[in-house]
Amino acid sequence: MSANHTRAQSRGIRITVVGVLLFILLVIAAFVHRTGQPRVMPAAEMQANGAYLLETPRDIGDFELIDHHGEPFTPARLEGHWTLLFFGFTFCPDICPTTMSFLNQFVEALEGTEARDTQVAMISVDPARDTVAQLAGYVPFFNEDFIGVTGEFLDIHRFATALNTPFRKVPGQDENYLVDHSANVVLINPRGDYHGFFKAPLDLAKMKVTYRSIRVLWDR
């Protein structure tokens, strides 16, 4: 056997080995990438994690409220990103500050695109006391990017009703009254439609993985 033939055989073997190794590396890389991607949870698992999605996202109609900067808060403010809405009030002694703190932790745990296109808004269920100035001194305390929203009582009531989040003033109290309201967090999709809600009590780890799953399902 000639030396040239032997070298050709050796070169062919090396090329084959390199090709096999590259194939193995590609398979491993694809597996790692796939396992690193959020998976789509079935509805039962989402509900076990506290997320309830509407079978068909609902158009919540027109509305015109006002944010804590004095700017209009209309349907256009809900389009092009995901929005988490919490209905509360600044004089709330427990549920509201706890939930707002939780939502701050939640958005701080998000990364990349999830962090960039997720907004949080607190809709006041006590517009008589929650003026623009009152919200401006309350909402940014939890997160500078959070939005406080107020408006006329009937407008807020219609908005809350469209999102299945009723509230009512506790009767028989003085000016330091409380307001009964839901502690759920409403999820609005990038079309501005009512997509579902996260049921209280909220769990950071469960809500984070479920939110990612919801987004993956939406992008399909």
Give the span between the Cα atoms of 152 and 64, in whole angstroms: 9
Give the span between the Cα atoms of 170 and 125, in whole angstroms: 12
DSSP result, 110-125: --HHHHHTEEEEEEES
Decide the pairing of beta strands 65-67 and 147-150. Answer: antiparallel
Give the span between the Cα atoms of 23 and 6, in whole angstroms: 26
**Contact predicate 156/88, CB 8 Å:** no
68 is in an annotated binding site: no
For residue 197, report the phi and psi dihedrals to the nearest 5 degrees: -155, 160
Question: Where in the chain does DSSP place strands (E)?
Answer: 51-58, 65-67, 72-73, 82-88, 118-124, 147-150, 167-169, 179-181, 185-188, 194-198
Residue ranges for the binding site for Cu cation?
Answer: 92, 96, 181
Residue ranges for the binding site?
Answer: 92, 96, 181
